[in-house]
Structure 1
Amino acid sequence: MMKITVINTGGTFNKRYNPIKGQLEVPKDNIALNKIIESCHNVQFDIKNIISKDSLDMTDVDRERICTEIQNSISDNIIIIHGTDTIHLTSAMIKKRIVDKKIVFTGAMVPMSIDESEATMNFSMALGFLSANPSLGTYIAMHGVVVNSSKLVKNREEGKFLIQE
């Protein structure tokens, strides 16, 4: 059975509408993730819900915490759920510091609570990629591809991630 550590840091993937405050919030739970993984019967997940922030609010202290969680993980297969606005900053830091694991960042531009398809697809791509036993490294799984983390960039004008050659 494949073992995967999932580090859930929040981001749009997890956001839910708070009717009392009238805004989307990043909750401190794994409801969005749990909905996806309940269908994964051949994977053992170790879920670490560690930050619960929009990525625009993440700091270098948060990124250090992610590094520590990866280094302390008993699994060499890591999926990091991360907000899309600063996924490039965190993945660049991880890529420089951790070279002995297979790390796949993923997230969503639309909250799973609003539309399940994008978050489910992106997480499933990350999971499938790891099940194919890729080379050690840091990757991003978004919008139909899984590539080296330095090759996928968020195009803010178009609202999607594109491969940068």
Structure 2
Amino acid sequence: MAIRNTDKITVLATGGTIDKEYNFDSEMVIGEPYIRSILDRVITDVEFEIRSVLKLDSLDMVNADRDQLVAALNEVEGDRVLITHGTDTMPETGRYLLQHAELGEKVVVLCGSIQPAIMRTSDADFNVGAAVAALNLLEPGVYISMSGRIFDAATVRKDRSRGIFLER
């Protein structure tokens, strides 16, 4: 395993639970990328460029939305990309990126949260931290970082009954 400390990580935000917040009508809605708040608290010399690509619950994501994500990923000039994504269809999107994106030397890690990042009991900070660390350790490809584990996007599935990710 080669450690490649990166100076810049591009974040592509797509919505999902990590970005959910309550509006004035007490409804959960997709807000601005909350990862900005998470990363603002990190003491590092890594530069984070955050781009909002979509604002969707991943259950509403279709391949046309994934095509927008592929286009955004293909436009990234750097080789380290973190994608925030809803957990329900994260594995499907990971496999879609493997099939359709021009990855080259890019290391792409998708992460999200089971609870909205804005909630005190959220797992978002932990998942984002693990994803950032993984970007320095992984070989080019597409991965999912959830619950302290890293999965190859080609072989991961979500166990909805337990709220965790597993190898297929």
TM-score, normalized by length of structure 1? 0.90
In the other structure, the counterpart of 1:163 is: 167
In the other structure, the counterpart of 1:128 is: 133
The answer to whether 1:83 aligns with 2:86 is yes
In the other structure, the counterpart of 1:137 is: 141
What are the Cα deviations for residues 133-155 of structure 1, in whole angstroms up to 9, with x where unaligned?
x2110000001111211232211
Superposition map of 1:10-89 within 5 A = 10-18=15-23, 20-27=24-31, 29-30=32-33, 32-38=34-40, 39-89=42-92
C-alpha separation between the residues in 2 aligned to 1:113 and 1:156? 22
Judged with a 3 Å threshold, the aligned counterparts in structure 2 of structure 1 residues 40 and 66 are, in CA distance, closer, same or farther, namely farther
Task: Please tell me the root mean square deviation across aligned C-alpha atoms, in Å.
Answer: 1.4
What are the Cα deviations for residues 85-113 of structure 1, in whole angstroms up to 9, with x where unaligned?
11111111101123311100000111011
Measured after TM superposition, the shift of residue 116 of structure 1 is: 5.5
TM-score, normalized by length of structure 2? 0.89
C-alpha separation between the residues in 1 aligned to 2:143 and 2:63? 20
C-alpha separation between the residues in 2 aligned to 1:162 and 1:109? 15
C-alpha separation between the residues in 1 aligned to 2:43 and 2:9? 11
Measured after TM superposition, the shift of residue 40 of structure 1 is: 4.2
C-alpha separation between the residues in 1 aligned to 2:120 and 2:60? 23
Measured after TM superposition, the shift of residue 48 of structure 1 is: 0.7
Contact 1:56 1:86 in 2 (8 A): yes
In the alignment, structure 2 segments of 5+ residues that lack a partner are 1-5
- Number of residues of Structure 1 aligned to a counterpart in Structure 2: 160
C-alpha separation between the residues in 2 aligned to 1:137 and 1:97? 12
C-alpha separation between the residues in 2 aligned to 1:59 and 1:137? 22
Deviates more, 1:145-154 or 1:77-86: 145-154
Contact 1:2 1:131 in 2 (8 A): no
What are the Cα deviations for residues 43-91 of structure 1, in whole angstroms up to 9, with x where unaligned?
1111111111111111211100100011110111110000011111111
Superposition map of 1:94-105 within 5 A = 94-98=97-101, 99-100=103-104, 101-105=106-110
C-alpha separation between the residues in 2 aligned to 1:42 and 1:10? 26
